[in-house]
Structure 1
């Protein structure tokens, strides 16, 4: 079974960020991440749609008239 452990390699030395694996010898695959801190990616809309949104009704009430609610079921 594969298990993942988080660590930092600094000057060739491994510093475990979680509990170290309890093995004396193992084959490993190491993936090097570009940054040590995760980055938060924010999605932004394309500039071509900026300012083109419209509010079609009150933000608290429904856009659809109350008498039309039955046909929406």
Structure 2
């Protein structure tokens, strides 16, 4: 088989001439190459670009949390209203 200028337009033109079964076979041959390429890209994204920040104290500006006693009182009040 003679290798021609393999531009995207040429490849698409040739692919459109294939039967549906041949198109599926073409896709089956191309997908492994794509998967290998995507795995390389995916592993490069797993390393964070910025250092992670701690969320400790994230809600400090909201004041102290309600106590267990306060929560129990609110629950008891809700039960009597239901």
Tell me the TM-score normalised to structure 2 length: 0.27
Relative to total residues, which structure has the larger helix share, 1 or 2? 2
Relative to total residues, which structure has the larger strand share, 1 or 2? 1
Tell me the TM-score normalised to structure 1 length: 0.29
Greater relative contact order (Cα 8 A, min sep 6): structure 1 or 2? 1
